[in-house]
Amino acid sequence: MESNSIKFLTLGIESSCDDTSIAVIDEELNVLAEKTASQIDSHKIWGGVIPELASRMHQEAIMPLLDDVLVEASVTNPAKEISLIASTTGPGLMGSLLVGAMTARALAFGWNVPFTTVNHLEGHIFAAIANAKDLKPPFISLIISGGHTEIILVKDFGSYELLGTTRDDAVGESFDKLSKFLGLGYPGGPIIDKLAETGKVMYDLPMPLCDTDEIEFSFSGLKTAAINLAAKLKEEGRVFCKNVPLNDIAASFQNTVCKILTSKLALAFDKTGIKALTLSGGVAANSAIRSALCDFCNKRSITLYMPQKHLCTDNGIMIAIAGYFAYKRGEVMNHRVSPSWSLW
């Protein structure tokens, strides 16, 4: 068996929100180990991520997770076997970012290994490469999560242009807030996704900003319209039993999100003439969105790169890959921890 010391191993650390995730990859982007400590159960009871709790939990999780990952990757002497350390330094929650980034810096110093900082959104762009190693720019990347709604033109690795984003709520945030209002729990995305399976698309909901050619989203108005619809149906005496009409509201809401996303993607593809799309972020797990994007891309002969669900949510693999590519480009970065670090 090939020894680790003759491979180029990158250790990637992600801790920007509520997942502590560490991975080791080799120069062929094979994943030697990946472990994630999710905090979701601790935040669930509060109906959202509590930043102070998140940073404390990262601190508790990170060293045991690192030990486990190194064992799984058969790394016995990291100072000799790890060639590069990459860590997210923004955007994200300040305390959470600090735990991962400071741990990574300390390890790099102690092991005398090169260190590079990674922008979290660049990480999401690289999630697609984990499954499609020969994917080359230019392509368009759609990132949809609890904190992000971005259509990005990837001109080259390291060269990004923001084509469109949201004016207000992120897509995932609108799922979470709607679910909270309906008393369904947190995180709302998977709950609404499941409810919609038995629902019918029977309510017309608004598609804010879809009457313009601007690539810009507004999910706050859609969320409010769905909340008002639920309140009205309740007032009219429609009983929310056996999930009816909650499942119809969920299906109608989700369908409208799909129509909004594809209408703005259409503008982005018309504008650029590009023929490839990558998808990432927690909302990319949504079954209706996945199938709407498959249809959209089939109709337009666009190649769709949709990573497995665990690569779409926050993970150390995408950070390791983005860091390794930056290192190969000679763009080792030393970006300070910054909650609003912009990629463009």
Binding site for ligand KG4 (CB under 6 A): 17, 145-147, 172, 175-176, 187-190, 193, 281-283, 285-286, 313-314
**Which among Zn ion, ligand KG4, none contacts residue 193 (Cβ within 5 to 8 A by kind)?**
ligand KG4
**Which among Zn ion, ligand KG4, none contacts residue 172 (Cβ within 5 to 8 A by kind)?**
ligand KG4
Find all residues with CB under 8 Å of 122, minimum gap 6, and list them. 160, 322, 326, 343
Query: Would you tell me how many other CB atoms lie within 10 Å of the CB of residue 101?
Result: 25
The stretch near Zn ion (CB under 5 A) out of 7-15, 38-46, 144-152, 211-219 is 144-152
Tokens coding 272: 């650029």
Q: In a 10 Å sphere around its CB, with 0-12 CB exposed, 13-18 middle and 19+ buried, how is residue 242 labelled?
A: exposed
Please give the Cα distance from 114 to 26 (Å, whole number).
15
Complex with ligand KG4: residue 85 or 178, whichever CB lies closer: 178
**Which among ligand KG4, Zn ion, none contacts residue 95 (Cβ within 5 to 8 A by kind)?**
none
CB-CB contact of 10 with 302 (8 Å)? no
Complex with ligand KG4: residue 108 or 319, whichever CB lies closer: 319
For helices 171-181 and 188-196, the axis angle rounded to 10 degrees is 80
Query: Would you tell me how many other CB atoms lie within 10 Å of the CB of residue 138?
Result: 15
Complex with Zn ion: residue 209 or 261, whichever CB lies closer: 261
Under rule CB under 5 A, residue 122 binds Zn ion: no
**Which among Zn ion, ligand KG4, none contacts residue 218 (Cβ within 5 to 8 A by kind)?**
none
**Which among Zn ion, ligand KG4, none contacts residue 89 (Cβ within 5 to 8 A by kind)?**
none
Exactly one of 195, 311, 314, 326 binds Zn ion (CB under 5 A); which one? 314
Beta-strand ranges (E) seen in 39-179 are 82-90, 115-119, 139-144, 149-156, 159-166
User: Minimum CB separation from ligand KG4 for residue 293, in Å?
Assistant: 13
Complex with ligand KG4: residue 157 or 219, whichever CB lies closer: 219
Under rule CB under 5 A, residue 176 binds Zn ion: no
Sheet with 139-144: list strands edge to edge: 216-217, 159-166, 149-156, 139-144, 276-280, 303-305
- Per CB under 5 A, residues contacting Zn ion are 145, 314
